[in-house]
Amino acid sequence: MRLIAFGGDERLSGALAAARARGWETLHVRAQEDAQGLGGADAVLLPWPRSFEAETLLGGSLGRGETLAAIPACRAALLGGDVRAQEVPQAGMAVLPGKDETFLLKNAALTAEGALFAAHARTGRALLGRSCLVTGFGRIGRALVARLTAMEAFVVVCARSEAQMRLAHGMGAHPVPMHALTAACAQAELVFNTVPARVLDEEALSALRGHAQVIELASAPYGADPELAQHLGVPMAIESGLPGRFAPVDAGAALFEALERAMKAEQGGEQHGGA
């Protein structure tokens, strides 16, 4: 089996290392000269979640058009979020990690671990006994709560639904509805936001203690306005995209595993259909 990766950060290096550990032959295309005479491939990796900055391949100088044209015929191509399947007709199948629940759960676990590391680094303090507020209770929120409660932090979860609040309570956290967010902020030393919407408004930010730290894990527009947080004197660390920065080797391995699962599922489907 042969895998070609185009551009990217250390995540793709991690993906290629995972592929080699499974016995795959690999090639990493980083520059225009690398894209000459590539030969065939069973699968191709583009940087995830994005593949291009404007019209240039992330991590290299290749343009969008020449990069997509250089992709050889292959069984599968793992695409960044800004590449559409129809742009890579030479791939038999487009693999979208954002639709792979196993990948998303692993990515959430890596994000949660990175968030704890960021909290230690930003505050210089342990989490044992700290009052922590987690806003949102999706995959990342659940992964965070599991780790924070295991570390004996006092954890409050602000969630939108009764089902989420019941689950948070079962995990050892103290759930409150979103309308009680300001009151929860008044008791928090650390806030981990996982909601990509402005849930931390001026009232909520103003309620934070002077020494409270916000660890922002969501993508833009973030859970709070960074300029407003700065104006109010609330420390806000934007830590979105943690897996690729905190544990790129493991994040890359997760990408390769998502690709491999999709290829095995397709092969199983073909065999079943042929039978």
DSSP string, 78-135: E--TT--GGG-TTBS-EE-GGG-HHHHHHHHHHHHHHHHHHHHHHH-S--TT-EEEEE
Number of H helices, E strands in the chain: 10, 13
Q: Which residue has the higher pLDDT, 55 or 3?
A: 3
What percentage of the chain carries pLDDT values higher than 70? 97
Task: Find all residues with CB under 8 Å of 214, minimum gap 6, and list them.
Answer: 191, 193, 200, 208, 223, 224, 229, 234, 235, 236, 237
**Mean pLDDT score, 29-41:** 85
3-state secondary structure of 259: helix
Residue pLDDT, tens place only, 220-240: 999 999 999 999 999 999 998
Task: Find all residues with CB under 8 Å of 163, minimum gap 6, and list them.
Answer: none
3-state secondary structure of 227: helix
Residue 271: pLDDT band with limits 50, 70, 90: low
3-state secondary structure of 61: coil
* Two structure tokens written together for 102: 């196993």
Tell me which residue has tokens 């306005």. Answer: 225
What is the pLDDT, as a whole number, of residue 275? 46
Task: Find all residues with CB under 8 Å of 73, minimum gap 6, and list them.
Answer: 40, 90, 91
What's the pTM value of the predicted model, to 2 decimals? 0.92
What percentage of the chain carries pLDDT values higher than 90? 86
Residue pLDDT, tens place only, 57-66: 988 788 999 8
Residue pLDDT, tens place only, 197-228: 999 999 999 999 777 999 999 999 999 999 99
Residue 273: pLDDT band with limits 50, 70, 90: low
Residue pLDDT, tens place only, 69-120: 999 999 999 999 999 999 999 999 999 999 999 999 999 999 999 999 999 9
Q: What is the 3-state secondary structure (H, E, C) of 63-85?
A: EHHHHHHHCCCECEEECCCCCCH
**Does the pLDDT value for residue 45 go beyond 50?**
yes
What is the pLDDT, as a whole number, of residue 32? 80
**Mean pLDDT score, 170-186:** 96
